[in-house]
Amino acid sequence: MDKEGSGTKKGKRRKPGHRERVDQPVALPGIRRIQFFSDLSDRPWTKNLNRAAMFGIATAFLADFLKPVMRGVPQTIYCYECRACYATQDRCPASITFQAELTVSARVGDYERFIRNGGLACVRCGNCVSFCVLNLNLPRIYARMQELTIEAMEQGKIPRKVLLWAYENGRINRLWIDRVAKYLGKA
């Protein structure tokens, strides 16, 4: 045997893909307990695949992290969608039932989702803050997202049918109703 104890005789080379190692403990007859983790010599692509996977993970993480920061709503990163803010449903003057949906839509920049869940109807009273487990400043998050939504509306990034639905169903508060009505040609 050679010095490494790989089970090969002197002068003989190990075949690629050969996983029989006598220096590893036997878990079951014919199966070595840690052979798949310790004998990586027959996996030449592993290092490159690991690098590619880590690059993909890092890219996704940076996208998820940088997008809210660049948009001015960095606190949304901390929301783990526990839905504790849903307890506000009876106290919300704008009758917003799914505050966590507003926070998530602010994090990902989904204007349609924000409007459909009543984001433009929010009056920023702060009743939902007392229910937030992380004590996020939800009125500030929603105010910033309202501003971004109105900017996106004026740039034509939001479908008219979504704005028309919100306008007709009273899902826009008095701060934004004039601008939305003007955009829709209702003023």
pLDDT digit string (tens) for 65-97? 888 999 899 999 998 888 888 888 788 899 898
Report if pTM > 0.75.
Answer: no
pLDDT digit string (tens) for 122-180? 999 988 888 999 999 999 999 999 999 999 999 999 999 999 999 999 999 999 999 99
| Encoded tokens for 56 | 């993909």
Collapsing DSSP to helix, strand or coil, 27 comes out as strand
Do the Cβ atoms of 100 and 85 come closer than 8 Å? yes
40 DSSP assignment: -
Collapsing DSSP to helix, strand or coil, 185 comes out as coil
Domains of the chain, CATH where assigned: 72-184 (1.10.1060)
Question: Would you list the DSSP string of 145-177?
Answer: HHHHHHHHHHTT-S-HHHHHHHHHTT-S-TTTH
Helix axes 138-154, 99-108, angle to 10 degrees: 60
Collapsing DSSP to helix, strand or coil, 34 comes out as coil
Q: State residue 1's pLDDT score.
A: 47
Question: Would you list the DSSP string of 72-125?
Answer: T-GGGGG-----GGGGGGGT-TT----HHHHHHHHHHT-HHHHHHTTGGG----
